[in-house]
């Protein structure tokens, strides 16, 4: 269960990171609210997962999922350029996250 919560929390990290960028320094209400709610839920999920998972592994997985999804979303929406190198590097992050999961008992 901790791994499922951790993955969802990592996905919420991408939500709050994107909302933070769209809040324009907290000057826009809806993105600011989305940021606050998703940040709280993401941190709560990470805290829950840390009850059973090692902090180094859990944090790396959480950040890796959030970073990969945030960058992927930015490329999908045209906010950032799509290049083969960027895609390969993001896939490298995903592979490392999967590797951490596979090597944790």
How many other β-carbons are positioned within 10 Å of the β-carbon of residue 99? 10
Give the residue among 29, 12, 8 at the shortest CA–CA distance from 73. 12
Structural domain count, the chain: 1
First to last CA, the chain: 14
**C-alpha–C-alpha distance, residues 9 and 62, integer Å:** 7
Instruction: Convert the pLDDT of each residue in 1-51 to its tens digit.
Output: 999 999 999 999 999 999 999 999 999 999 999 999 999 999 999 999 999
> Which residues constitute the domain of residue 97?
2-103
Tokens of 4: 């499922």
Place of tokens 């996250």: 97
The pLDDT tens digits of the residues spanning 54-105 come to 999 999 999 999 999 999 999 999 999 999 999 999 999 999 988 988 887 6
Return the closest-CA partner of residue 48 out of 20, 17, 12. 12
């Amino acid at each position: 269960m901790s791994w499922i919560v951790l993955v969802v929390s990592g996905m919420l990290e991408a939500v709050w990171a994107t909302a933070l960028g769209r809040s324009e320094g907290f000057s826009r209400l809806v993105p600011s609210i989305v940021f606050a709610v998703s940040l709280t839920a993401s941190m709560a999920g990470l805290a829950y997962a840390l009850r059973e998972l090692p902090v180094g592994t859990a944090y790396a997985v959480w950040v890796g999922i959030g970073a990969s999804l945030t960058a992927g979303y930015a490329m999908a929406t045209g906010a950032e350029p799509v290049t083969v190198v960027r895609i390969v590097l993001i896939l490298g992050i995903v592979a490392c996250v999967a590797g951490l999961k596979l090597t944790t008992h």
